[in-house]
Chain A
Amino acid sequence: MSQSQSNVSGSQVKAKEKRQRKRWITPKTVPYLFILPAVTFFLIFTVYPVISSLLLSFQTREGSGYVFSGLDNYIRLFQDGLFYKALGNTFLILIIQVPIQLFLAVIIAVALNSQFVKMKSFFRVAFFMPAITALVASSIIFMIMLDENYGLVNYLLSLVGIEPVAWLTDPFWAKVALMVAITWRWTGYNMVIFLAGLQNIPGSLYEAAEMDGASKVRQFFYITLPQLKPIFLFTFVLSTIGTLQLFDEPYILTEGGPNNSTLTITLYLYENGFRYFDFGYASAIAYVLVLIIGVLSWAQMKVAGEDK
C-alpha cells in the first residue's frame, strides 16, 4: 500500500518536473536552443577571427606585442615583388587551367550522356575517383610520376623519343606540372556536375531540333551549351574560389619553387604567418585575398545575371 502510494507521488513529481521543463522549452524558445551550439561555435571560431584578422592587418609587431601601424602592411604589400609574383602565378593558373578543366569536363559529360554509351555508371565512378583522394596524397603521386630522372611520365615520353622534361625543377614546366595535377584531381568532379545538368535538359528540345534537321554539332552549340549556362557559372565560381586558395598542391609538389615560379597567394600567406610569424603582414595578404574573391564572385554573378 505504502509502496504504491510512493509510486503515485513519485510519478506526480516527475509529471510536475516535466511540466516545469515544458514551460520554458516551447516552440517559441526551442529554435534558439537548436541554433545555440552552431551560433556559439560560429561566433568564436569564424566571426571573431575574421574581425581580429582585419584589425591585425593594420598592426605590426613591436617587441612582444602588436601596435597600430595604419596602412603600413598594405603599402608594403603593394611594393612587394614576391606578392606580385604570387598574385601573377595564381591568376595565370586561373586563366589557363580552369577553362581547360571545365572544357574537358563538358566534353566527357557530353560523351558519357550519349545514348550509345553503355556502362554509364562504371564510367562515372572511374572519372570521379580522383575527387576522393586527399590533395596531399594526389600531389605526392604526381610528384613521383613527374620525377625528372626516374619518373614514369618521362619514361613514357622517352619511348616516343621525347627528351626528359624537368617537370618540377624548371620554372615553366613546374607550372605545367601543377596544372596537370590540379586538372587530374578536379575534372571528374566537375564532369559529374555537368552530367547532372545534361540529364535535366528536356529531350523534347533535341527532338524538335532533329525534326528541323539540325546537325549534332549545331544541337550542341544551340541547345546543350545555352542550357548548361547555370552549371557553367556554378562550376566556374567554384573553380575560381578553389584556385585562388590553392595551397596543398604547390606546398607538396614544388614548395612554391623553383625560384618562386609556383608560389601562390595562400602559400605566401602561410610562409609569412607561420614561417616568419609576421601575423600583421599575413593578415593583410589574407584580406587582399578576401577582396579578390569577393570582387570576382560578384562580377561573375553579375555577368551571368545581366545576360538573362
Chain B
Amino acid sequence: MTNKMSPMKKTLLYAFLFVGVIVSVFPFYWMFVGATNPSGEIFKVPPNFLPGTHGWENFVNLNENVGILRVIGNSLVITLTFTALSALICTAAGYAFAKFQFKGRNQIFFMLLVAIMIPYHVTLIPLFEIFANVNWLNTFQAVILPQIAYPFAIFLMRQNMQAIPDSLLEAARVDGAGEFHIFFRIVMPVMRPALAAVAIFLFMFQWNNFIWPLVVLQSQDMYTLPVALSSLVGMSRIDYGQVMMGTTLSTLPIMIFFLLLQKQFISGILGGSVKE
C-alpha cells in the first residue's frame, strides 16, 4: 500500500502506545522498587523512585516470617508434579478422542466440553469433604489431584492431534509397533509444540491457583506462594518491603520464562485460541 501518515498523527499513535506500555509495565517496576527498599521508602512523600539495596534484608525477614524458601519449594513441587501428570493424562485422552473410533467416544467427549463451562467453585465444598474423609487436608496431593483431568487441556490436545496423519500410525502398526510405543515414541514427539503450549497453560494455572489451595492448605509450612502472600497481607502490621519481595519472587521466574519463550507463552496462556 502507498498510504502515508502525517508525522503529527504518527507521533500521536506512538504516544498512545507508549503511554499504554508504561501503564502495563510500571507496576512491575514499582514492585522491584518496593522489594529492594525498606518498607518506609515506598510510602515516603515524595516516594523513592529508584531501586534500593535493602533487598537481602527484605528476603531474610520474609523467610523468617513465612518461610519463603520452603513456600517456593512447595509451589515448585506442586506445580511441576501437576503439570507433568496432567499433561500426560490429558495428552493420552486427547489422542484417544482424536485418533480412535470407540463406543461412547462422543458422549464422553461431550461431557468434558460441558465441564469447561462449569465454574470450578461448584466443586469446592464436595472436594473439601472428599479430602477431609481420607484425611488428606493440608497435603500436596489435595492441591494436585482435583484438576489433573483438565477438560480444556484434553480438548486442546484433541484438536491438535487431529493433524496427525492416520497413515503414520498405520505404518507403525504394520511394522509391528505396540500401541504404547506408538504413543510415546511417535505421537508425543510429533506433538511437541502443542504439548509445550498446554504445559505452559497448566503450569500457569497451578502456579497462580489460589482459592482451592487457600481452602485446603492449613499450615504455613504447606502454603503455596499465592496463599503465603495473601497471609502476609492479612497480618495486622504489614511490612510492605517483605510483601513486595514476595510478589517479586512469585512473578520474576515466570517473567524470565515469558521473555525467553514469548510465542509459546502467549499461545499457551491463551490456551491455543490464537493461532500464530
Contact = CB atoms under 8 A, between A and B. Distances in A.
A224 interface: no
Contact of A49 (B21, B105, B127, B154): B127
A152 interface: yes
B147 A45 contact: yes
Contacts, number: 269
Interface in B21-46: 21, 23-25, 27-28, 30-31, 34, 42-46
Interface string B238-276: 001001101100110011001100100110011001110
Contacts of B47: 150, 152, 155
A134 B210 contact: yes
B163 interface: no
A252 B258 CA distance: 25
Most chain B beta carbons < 10 A, residue from A42, A150, A192: A42
Range of interface residues on A (Cβ < 8 Å)? 35 or more
A307 B185 CA distance: 47
Interface in A168-198: 184, 188-189, 192-193, 196
Given A135-B210, A144-B244, A150-B45, A46 B149 contact: yes
Interface in B70-117: 89-90, 92-93, 95-97, 100, 102, 105, 108, 111-112, 115, 117
Most chain B beta carbons < 10 A, residue from A31, A48, A108, A126: A31
B102 A116 contact: no
B50 interface: no
B86 to A, nearest CB: 9
B137 to A, nearest CB: 12
Contacts of B266: 124, 128, 192
B229 interface: yes
A143 B233 contact: yes
Contact of A46 (B90, B92, B123, B208): B123
Contacts of B136: none
Most chain B beta carbons < 10 A, residue from A152, A188, A282: A152
A127 B17 CA distance: 9
Contacts of A152: 30, 42, 47
Given A45-B123, A140-B247, A189-B270, A132 B255 contact: yes
Range of interface residues on B (Cβ < 8 Å)? 35 or more
Most chain A beta carbons < 10 A, residue from B123, B178, B229: B123
Nearest to A140: B247
Given A25-B178, A34-B96, A49-B126, 20 more contacts: A26-B179, A28-B102, A38-B149, A39-B108, A45-B148, A46-B118, A47-B111, A49-B125, A56-B125, A117-B14, A129-B25, A136-B229, A137-B251, A144-B243, A144-B244, A234-B273, A247-B211, A266-B211, A279-B129, A293-B119
Instruction: Please list the 3 inter-chain residue pairs (A to B) with the smallest Cβ-Cβ separation, ordered nearest first.
Output: A150-B43, A49-B126, A49-B123
Interface of B: 1, 3, 5, 10, 13-14, 16-17, 20-21, 23-25, 27-28, 30-31, 34, 42-47, 89-90, 92-93, 95-97, 100, 102, 105, 108, 111-112, 115, 117-119, 121-130, 145-149, 151, 154, 173, 178-180, 183, 204, 207-208, 210-211, 215, 225-226, 229-230, 233, 240, 243-244, 246-247, 250-251, 254-255, 258-259, 262, 265-266, 269-270, 273-275
8 contacts: A31-B100, A38-B92, A42-B115, A47-B111, A115-B1, A136-B250, A145-B30, A289-B121
Interface of A: 21-22, 25-28, 30-35, 37-42, 44-50, 52-53, 56, 108, 111-112, 114-117, 121, 123-138, 140-145, 147, 149-152, 155, 184, 188-189, 192-193, 196, 207, 210, 234, 241, 244-245, 247-248, 251-252, 266, 269-270, 273-274, 279, 282-283, 286-287, 289-290, 293-294, 297
